[in-house]
Structure 1
Amino acid sequence: PYLSPAKDRVVDALSLSFIFLVNRMARKPSDAHHSYDFHRIETLLNTSLILLFIAMAAYSALVTTQLLLANAVRSPGSAVIPSIAALVLLLIAAFFMDKDEKSNFSVLFIHTIQDLGAIMVTLAFSLASAYFTGLPLDYIGSYAVLVIILYGNRKMFGRNINILLGGSPVSIREVEDMVRAEFPNAHHLHIWDICQHQRVATLHLSIPSSLKL
């Protein structure tokens, strides 16, 4: 009722390939048309990956609902062997994955941890359905996986959307009040993130026409 572990690993491999490509593009120096380099593309990739993972989970839940309404019979053991194999691969991937929140790999690391939880839920519900026959536990596990993915991605998704919208990661009013305490003529303070590891700010300062800088 959900995407097979093999297909999920293919998606992870493609995601990792895109991350390497984007990291290479982000290292390009600034030019006459890009003052802040190309780091914003990292945020675009992070948002796209999260949406992809959510879409995969939603599709699995949709297929699960169709099978459940059709009273389709599914062998509990059909998910056990591939789930155990995927569990081993995910443990290895999580060990080597970069866990730094500033890294572009952080999204994939979080997804890997979510996959670990999802596979464990799959195993638990699949084994339980073998003992509690007549209950759609295997299908309920698919909905549990969707909840795990949605809950696990909520903060990362919100942060990336805030970056794309030019939102400030800190209170601009508080910072502006602190600056005005030293420079009363300061105004129009702007603070925003280019990506998760690059923050910029601009400030306007009114000075007498007779004053030279």
Structure 2
Amino acid sequence: MHGSHDHGPGDVNAKNERRMGLAALLTGSFMFVEVVGGIAADSLALIADAGHMLTDFASLALAWFAFRLARRPADWKRTYGFDRFQVLIAFTNGLALFVIAGWIVYEAIERLMGTPHVDGGIMVGVAIAGLLVNIAAFWLLQGADRENLNVRGAAIHVLGDLLGSVAALVAGAVILLTGWMPIDPLLSLLVAVIIVRSGWQVVAASAHILLEGAPKEVDTRDIAPDLVANVEGVEAVHHVHVWSITQSRRMVTLHARICDTEDSDDVVQGIKARLKEKFNLDHATVEIERGACADEEPKAASA
């Protein structure tokens, strides 16, 4: 059996961790201001946004912890290290977005059936401050690795907050100018729809990785015929498995039957070079076979 054994931390780095931590501090600090403002103004848009900010703070803190945990080296129990934890956190954060959106929808319907009085002035003031805080947090996350699912999940939480602040600002302005109170829950419903859509993208992508699905850029059906056609000495390829630890740590294992006259080390090097060049798969474990596959059921002895 031939394989490569670099199970390093991959795309986890200090920049992601630092920016995630700062975004968590910003969000958590402002959350209390928004709760007080939402209660004082009797605004669902502000209270919903504050509730969203609470889960955002928890999500960002967990995301920060996932990056910190992923620094730990692999051990005999977890031979791939702790990188996958950040995908698990992204999946959890995505599910949390559905819960938040459901609560906002429920509260908005309750509000539409009643006639609450909302203080537009307080709404506008708190919403402007919230908008500035969310822009700062979103900017911090945009400077991190945007291909990372953990960063993407956290950024969607913050983006949902940013949209919530915009909705609260618009609702407050409309109430100040026209006195039309239903704008508050109606804009909250719009934010809920956006949150669900964004949350689904993160849940689908992280679930695919957790289910050991092949990266979307790789069609596993192409690997065997490509290696047979392009690597000298390869007669057949089977038992191909491709999956990801994180979005950037891709793995592949396969069996390759080679000609009796070929040097196995040369063929393995050729296969690995082709996998990296053609499919961007740089962590490969290749089992070389000459003749029958060792995993095939042995034939029963003739009577």
Q: TM-score, normalised by structure 2?
A: 0.62
1:29 aligns with 2:73: yes
Matches of 2:132 and 2:251 in 1, distance apart?
41
> What residue number does 1:161 align with?
207
Count of matched residue positions in the alignment of Structure 1 and Structure 2: 213
Contact 2:97 2:199 in 1 (8 A): no
Structure 1 unaligned segments of length 5 or more: list them: none
1:172 aligns with 2:220: yes
Change (3 A) 1:122 1:147: same
Q: Which moved more, 1:70-79 or 1:24-33?
A: 70-79
Amino acid at match of 2:194: I
> What residue number does 1:184 align with?
235
Matches of 1:52 and 1:165 in 2, distance apart?
19
For the residue of structure 2 that corresponds to 1:166, the secondary structure is: coil
Contact 2:240 2:252 in 1 (8 A): yes
Contact 1:99 1:109 in 2 (8 A): no
Contact 1:76 1:138 in 2 (8 A): no
Q: Which moved more, 1:8-17 or 1:33-42?
A: 8-17
- TM-superposed deviation, 1:130: 3.9
1:203 aligns with 2:249: no
- TM-superposed deviation, 1:26: 1.6
After superposition, the C-alpha distances for 1:72-122 in whole angstroms (9 at most, x for unaligned) are 443444532221111111112122224422443332123222322232123
Q: TM-score, normalised by structure 1?
A: 0.86
Matches of 2:68 and 2:116 in 1, distance apart?
47
Q: Kindly, what percent of the aligned residue pairs are identical? A: 26
- TM-superposed deviation, 1:192: 0.9
> What residue number does 1:64 align with?
108
For the residue of structure 2 that corresponds to 1:81, the secondary structure is: helix
For the residue of structure 2 that corresponds to 1:79, the secondary structure is: helix
Q: Which moved more, 1:150-159 or 1:160-169?
A: 150-159
- TM-superposed deviation, 1:149: 1.0
> What residue number does 2:272 align with?
none
Work out which of the two has the higher radius of gyration on C-alpha atoms and give 1 or 2. Answer: 2
> What residue number does 2:90 align with?
46
Structure 2 unaligned segments of length 5 or more: list them: 1-43, 265-303
Find runs of 4+ consecutive structure 1 residues off by over 6 angstroms.
Answer: 208-212
